[in-house]
Chain A
Amino acid sequence: MSAQTAFGAARRGGLFADEAKRLGFLMSLPAQLLLLFIVVFPLLMQIYVSLTYWGPLDGESWIYAYKSLNPLDNYGELFIDGRFWASIARTLFIVVVSVPIEFLLGLGLATLFVDQFPGRRIFYSILLMPMMIVPAVAGYMFFMLFQSNGPINDLVSRLTGLDMDFVWLSDPNLAIVAVMIADIWQWTPLMFLILLAGMMGVPEDQLRAATLLGANSWQRFWRIVLPKMKMVIIIAVVIRVVECFKIFDLLAVMTKGGPGVETETLSYYIYKLTFADLEWAYVAALGLFVLIALSLIAWAALWRLQKAQARAETQPGR
């Protein structure tokens, strides 16, 4: 009797579970196929093209690219392409300077705004505005501001009493500074917004406990607020690093990569290769190389993070 019962229950449960699984699979199948098509197909196409000399001027469909098959030439070339490596170095320079400044400014602003003060809401709205502006428009604004007879030179001259005449956007050393200032202006608000959200999430009672234990505001910030915001800080910085690495639109309006190639970033170089030089097969190889390199770096970073987490979790506990 009891064996029969157990069998009955198992069969019913099993069947139900199977059916639910199959139904779920069938229902999600179209979405899965679509995803496959969107992600996998272009990637395969890119790999294929990157192994050839195919370009739009060949007058042939990409399918026939194999006619100019040259498996590793493109990859070999990118290693000796000085302009490519210079653009990467320049991009990294922008990331390494801009993102920390954005982070520090954002953190400072968040610290101010976490407390209530009169006019907080208005200042808050004003502060977030740069982020809402279309990057091309922001680029145009700074393009005007940095003209040699523009308001910035004018302001500096009046303040110092000297006749300042920086040609910001055409000076090989100053152009990149102008671009970075524009980037910082536009993206500090995002940093501020994320960090403020994180700071608001720091438990009030723990801060209060710290105060009662005698911690001053600096100690509270250093020992409670910052450690509690660790994850938020990582997220904010990663978002900005990734975005900043792709910097393009400000440049396109302000300098067009110039003077010469002095502000040419990776994105801008690829853009020029694609639309000015029409080197499509080389661009495919270059894009793939950057993708693989970035994936490896991200993977290594994640792996280290996971290891750190695992170490924290294997501490004695329940």
Chain B
Amino acid sequence: MASIRLSNLTKRFGPFTAVAALDLLIPDKEFVALLGPSGCGKTTTMNMIAGIESVTDGQILFDDRDVKNLPSGKRDVGFVFQNYAIFTHMTVYENIAFGLRVRNVARSEIDRRVRTMAALMRLEDRLEWPSGKLSVNELQKVAIGRSAITEPAIFLLDEPLSNLDAAFRAFMRTELKHLQHQFQQTMVYVTHDQIEAMSLADRIAVMNLGVLQQYGTPAEIYNRPRNIFVANFMGSPSMNLLPCRLVSEGSALRFSFGEAGLLDVAGDSALARRARSAPSADVIFGVRPEDVEITQAGGANALKGVVFFVEPVGARTVVHLKVNGKVFKVTKEKRFKIAIGTAVGLIPPVGKCHLFDAASGDAIGAG
């Protein structure tokens, strides 16, 4: 059980900065996801926590203890690799027992703990199998069991679900979360899949190009993205982003979208108050696909859009529209029917709109 504090953590490979002055506090027993596209520095960060990668600058503290110079084997971290790194010349039993064997734990004790772990991971009938014969799904369970058996204070997982098939991934998501509640360990989870991060983590650290973009609970990240990168990265389909101009109309505030129309907002609304703090009148207006209402064309306070594709994806229907020549998506319930080519009005609810500065991409008026 340990908290992890990264302060001013930096990693450079020659002239390339992989992680830039990262400050992050991962509280004890929390499940934190490092989320970002490939090359954002998330894996490098985790490797530094594990001690696989050296630190260029900054500190890594486990419970106020600096571990920067501690070799990886002494940091008491469990690590699950993306490709699992199962010892292919050993049986499942020997794999799971490895961490205890190298600690010279008594044979009977090893046997007891391996069997307990196997039961927990539902691998009892696989114990004597050579690990080369396991399916990917089973390898993943062995990898987790092998790391968990030494009861490390900190558990690090590097994209552990990315090789699994979709159905098992959905199942493993739940299982992992449940395991974390049982083990009561601090878990750090690296992923590029925002759905995994949202569903698993207590907190998400969104990274891009080595820089931390936002750190918060899934709800905070999803509902109050701090900049366009975060807004665009979270959610599937991603947030609709439209450039627009702010114009004052007496007491009301007008969002002008050119050919797509206008939105008038009461001057005392929260959105208007936020908009007034914008550094320039050129802003990016954002709204999530599930928040938009589709109405008949020609209504007041609605954007003009034309349906060009309707995509049924199981539980939901994604309606693709063209607004000002740009793609705009709206999600509706399954079996929603609308003809391609229909002109419609789109109403973004005032309370669920996002505003970003067009120049910097930062959210306007976000707390």
Q: Do A and B bind each other?
A: yes
Chain A: residues with CB nearer than 8 A to chain B?
A: 203, 205-206, 208-216, 219, 223-224, 227-228, 230, 312, 315-318
CA–CA, A317 and B72, complex, Å: 34
Q: Which 9 A-B pairs have the closest CB atoms?
A: A317-B133, A205-B85, A209-B85, A213-B99, A215-B102, A212-B79, A227-B89, A219-B102, A211-B73
The answer to whether B102 touches A216 (Cβ under 8 A) is: yes
A215 touches which of B50, B73, B83 (Cβ 8 Å): B73
| Residues of the B chain whose Cβ atoms lie less than 8 Å from the Cβ of A227 | 89-90
The answer to whether A214 touches B128 (Cβ under 8 A) is: no
The answer to whether B50 touches A212 (Cβ under 8 A) is: yes
CB distance from B67 to the nearest CB of A (A): 13
Interface residue? B225 (CB, 8 A): no
CA–CA, A122 and B62, complex, Å: 43
| Residues of the B chain whose Cβ atoms lie less than 8 Å from the Cβ of A230 | 89
CA–CA, A318 and B129, complex, Å: 10
Interface residue? B324 (CB, 8 A): no
The answer to whether A213 touches B98 (Cβ under 8 A) is: yes
CA–CA, A318 and B146, complex, Å: 22
The answer to whether A213 touches B129 (Cβ under 8 A) is: no
Chain B: residues with CB nearer than 8 A to chain A?
A: 50, 52, 71-74, 77-79, 81, 83, 85-90, 98-99, 101-103, 128-130, 133, 135, 146-147, 150
The answer to whether B85 touches A211 (Cβ under 8 A) is: no
CB distance from B47 to the nearest CB of A (A): 9
CA–CA, A223 and B87, complex, Å: 10
| Residues of the A chain whose Cβ atoms lie less than 8 Å from the Cβ of B71 | 211
- What are 7 A-B contacts defined by CB distance under 8 Å? A203-B85, A206-B88, A213-B146, A216-B102, A315-B133, A317-B129, A317-B130
The answer to whether B150 touches A316 (Cβ under 8 A) is: no
CA–CA, A205 and B85, complex, Å: 6
A208-B87 contact in complex given A213-B98, A213-B150, A315-B129, C-beta closer than 8 Å: no
B130 touches which of A214, A215, A228, A312 (Cβ 8 Å): A312
| Residues of the A chain whose Cβ atoms lie less than 8 Å from the Cβ of B135 | 318
| Residues of the B chain whose Cβ atoms lie less than 8 Å from the Cβ of A228 | 89
The answer to whether A224 touches B130 (Cβ under 8 A) is: no
| Residues of the A chain whose Cβ atoms lie less than 8 Å from the Cβ of B89 | 227-228, 230
CA–CA, A207 and B90, complex, Å: 14
CA–CA, A206 and B79, complex, Å: 12
The answer to whether A214 touches B85 (Cβ under 8 A) is: no
The answer to whether A212 touches B73 (Cβ under 8 A) is: yes
CA–CA, A206 and B86, complex, Å: 7
Known: A205-B81, A206-B86, A317-B133. 17 other contacts (CB 8 A): A206-B85, A206-B87, A209-B85, A212-B52, A213-B73, A213-B99, A213-B102, A213-B150, A214-B102, A214-B150, A223-B101, A227-B89, A228-B89, A312-B130, A315-B128, A315-B129, A318-B133
CB distance from A69 to the nearest CB of B (A): 56
A209-B79 contact in complex given A214-B150, A223-B98, A317-B130, C-beta closer than 8 Å: yes
| Residues of the A chain whose Cβ atoms lie less than 8 Å from the Cβ of B90 | 227
A214 touches which of B81, B87, B103, B129 (Cβ 8 Å): B103
CA–CA, A210 and B130, complex, Å: 18
CA–CA, A317 and B132, complex, Å: 9
| Residues of the B chain whose Cβ atoms lie less than 8 Å from the Cβ of A219 | 102
Tell which of A212, A219, A227 has the most Cβ of chain B within 10 Å: A212
| Residues of the B chain whose Cβ atoms lie less than 8 Å from the Cβ of A210 | 87, 98, 102
CA–CA, A317 and B128, complex, Å: 10
| Residues of the B chain whose Cβ atoms lie less than 8 Å from the Cβ of A316 | 128-129, 133
The answer to whether A212 touches B102 (Cβ under 8 A) is: no
Q: Residue of A at shortest CB range from B76?
A: A214
| Residues of the B chain whose Cβ atoms lie less than 8 Å from the Cβ of A208 | 52, 72, 81, 85
B98 touches which of A205, A215, A216 (Cβ 8 Å): A215
Q: Residue of B at shortest CB range from A226?
A: B89
CB distance from A311 to the nearest CB of B (A): 11
The answer to whether B87 touches A224 (Cβ under 8 A) is: yes
A223 touches which of B50, B78, B102, B150 (Cβ 8 Å): B102
The answer to whether B73 touches A214 (Cβ under 8 A) is: yes
CA–CA, A206 and B89, complex, Å: 11
A212 touches which of B72, B83, B88 (Cβ 8 Å): B72
Q: Residue of B at shortest CB range from A212?
A: B79
The answer to whether A209 touches B81 (Cβ under 8 A) is: yes
CB distance from B60 to the nearest CB of A (A): 15
CB distance from B54 to the nearest CB of A (A): 14
Q: Residue of B at shortest CB range from A208?
A: B52
CA–CA, A218 and B130, complex, Å: 24
CB distance from A59 to the nearest CB of B (A): 63
CB distance from B118 to the nearest CB of A (A): 15
B78 touches which of A203, A205, A212, A317 (Cβ 8 Å): A212
CB distance from A227 to the nearest CB of B (A): 5
| Residues of the A chain whose Cβ atoms lie less than 8 Å from the Cβ of B77 | 212
CA–CA, A216 and B88, complex, Å: 19
| Residues of the B chain whose Cβ atoms lie less than 8 Å from the Cβ of A215 | 73, 98, 102
B99 touches which of A205, A206, A214, A216 (Cβ 8 Å): A214
Q: Residue of A at shortest CB range from B50?
A: A212
CB distance from B154 to the nearest CB of A (A): 11
CA–CA, A215 and B98, complex, Å: 9
Q: Residue of A at shortest CB range from B77?
A: A212
| Residues of the A chain whose Cβ atoms lie less than 8 Å from the Cβ of B87 | 206, 209-210, 224
CA–CA, A25 and B309, complex, Å: 59
CB distance from B144 to the nearest CB of A (A): 12
Q: Residue of B at shortest CB range from A215?
A: B102
CA–CA, A203 and B87, complex, Å: 9
CB distance from A206 to the nearest CB of B (A): 5
| Residues of the A chain whose Cβ atoms lie less than 8 Å from the Cβ of B85 | 203, 205-206, 208-209
CA–CA, A106 and B77, complex, Å: 35
CB distance from B97 to the nearest CB of A (A): 10
| Residues of the A chain whose Cβ atoms lie less than 8 Å from the Cβ of B83 | 205
CA–CA, A219 and B88, complex, Å: 16
CA–CA, A228 and B130, complex, Å: 14
Q: Residue of B at shortest CB range from A315?
A: B130
